[in-house]
Amino acid sequence: MTNPTTYRQCCPELTCGSSLRNNYFEGKRLTVDSFRVEQEYLLERRRLLNRAIHGWGVVYGYAITAGPAVKETRPGRLRIGAGLALDRCGRELLQSETSIEVTDLMFLDENGRPIDLKSALSANEPRKRWPADESPDKCWLLRVHYAEQYAAPVTIEDACRCEHHAWDRMCETVRYSLQRVPCTECYSDFECELSCNCGTEPSHDNSSAADSPEIAAPHKRGGCRCLCEHLTQLEPEADCGSLCEIEEPCARIRLDLHHGVPLACVDLVRDNGARWTFGEVVEPCGPRRLVKRNDLLFDLIRGCDLTRIVEIGWSGMHRREEPVSFAEFSAALGPDGDREPEYVTELFFVKFSRPVRQDTLRPDCFAMTIMSGEREGGWWQTFRVPIVRVDTTGFPPEQGDPGGHVRGARIVVDGAWVEDGVRGRRSIFLGSETRVELEVRGDFIIDCNGQAVDANAVGLISVPTGNGTPGGTFLSTFCVEPSQEAAARDDQGRRQTGV
């Protein structure tokens, strides 16, 4: 251990840029400064870990409702549910349920500086409701800010018996602000923050990489090169500065104006008394940045946010070892003898775990291929079934589903093909065993969350589909036995025509 006397003689005074904490020893005099150092060390280390490991944004809660949806609250007030958020500095913004009105908020100009309510809601600037599509109009963005409020006043006497006033407690709380922003901020996705360049170092996964780079084993996803470069350049918000002190009617508040967490875009309207108040329009998810908890990350890896195929009508045929009888396959296409221009198939339908956009369910989302053995060389000849449209009338939306969405679809095929190519004299099912391949192209089908359906087939299991990534193709195969009845009709027709 270095002797303190020797240290003072030969070493300059240490400037600790990382963190300074107390060192306790017998006889140490604990002063206000000692406890302040201790508290600041613990706070700053916790906030450092928050912003470096967890990032910033809403952790949970902060549900927002307005207008008539707010019960037990006067009209024009905004209800904000309990929640937790982390700001860019790593501070915890913990809120119990509350309700606010326009006059309770701070208004910020385009540079984030406070302005008075009258200037913010100037009658010379017409109100512009934020639209549902891209627009240069301005919208009102609601943010939550970290704040500290002095509490529990006390009176103390010094050595001269002079009285001084101080605050015994500090309440960590929040305040809210409104700012005009481009409406695109109310519904635009956050860009990926991880940016990877091409690695230049040789692969170490294969000992022969230096001699034969073309056969070097590929890096696994999430390899250290990309992450190393990203984290080397990463610097979580460090310039947090000091808190601004403002006076409120009942207290002094220390507030961070520059690192607010976006919560929602809201609408401001005038009530019957021409006073500004909150309207019914609230967009709570578009502008929010979210902190992804560990359990949420694992659920995302598993694809719990994705829509899947949960039922197929031909599940009894899917990858069956023994061939399907021709009668069973024919019945799946529709009743025999209908002779309609088109056949709404009986069994060739799919159902989804969530509603999907009806306008994305088109004939090219499905493909049915018939393969028969070529008589001379033994090749498989392929024929594509004419799918004319998709029928969704039997799969209506459920309660709570958005408009323009359905829960399933059924293939509709050309009627002439069924009568001639399947059941008629020209059927390709007359000779040997025939193979059928049916595809559902999940990349083309968009669900109610705007994501492609996770349609990948998994082994021998027909449903549910999915490998945890959006899109993919569900491929189902089975074999069909030759049609004895169609062959008999073909022989009878040949005898009658003398062919």
Domain boundaries, the chain: 37-189+223-291, 301-497
Instruction: Compute φ and ψ for 263, nearest 5 degrees.
Output: -115, -40
Predicted local confidence at residue 132, as pLDDT:
46
Predicted local confidence at residue 368, as pLDDT:
96
Predicted local confidence at residue 234, as pLDDT:
80
The structure tokens listed for 126 are: 């017409």
Q: What is the mean pLDDT of the chain?
A: 82
Please name which of 337, 421, 334, 331 lies closest in space to residue 383, comparing C-alpha atoms. 421
The structure tokens listed for 145 are: 């800010």
* 445-477 burial: b if 16+ Cβ within 10 Å, else e: bbbbeebbbbbbbeeeebbebbeeebbbebbbb
Nearest-angstrom CA–CA distance, 301 and 323? 37
Using a 10 angstrom Cβ sphere, with 0-12 exposed, 13-18 middle and 19 or more buried, the burial of residue 276 is middle
Predicted local confidence at residue 328, as pLDDT:
92
Predicted local confidence at residue 122, as pLDDT:
64
Q: Can you list the residues of the chain whose pLDDT is less than 70?
A: 1-15, 17, 67-75, 122-136, 197-224, 238, 273, 337-338, 375-377, 431, 485-499
Predicted local confidence at residue 135, as pLDDT:
46
The structure tokens listed for 244 are: 């601004």
Predicted local confidence at residue 498, as pLDDT:
52
Predicted local confidence at residue 209, as pLDDT:
46
- In angstroms, what CA-CA distances link 405 with 377, 399, 401? 48, 11, 7
pTM for this structure?
Answer: 0.74
Nearest-angstrom CA–CA distance, 8 and 13? 8
pLDDT in tens, 55-72: 999 999 999 988 554 444
- Cα 433 from chain centroid (whole Å): 46
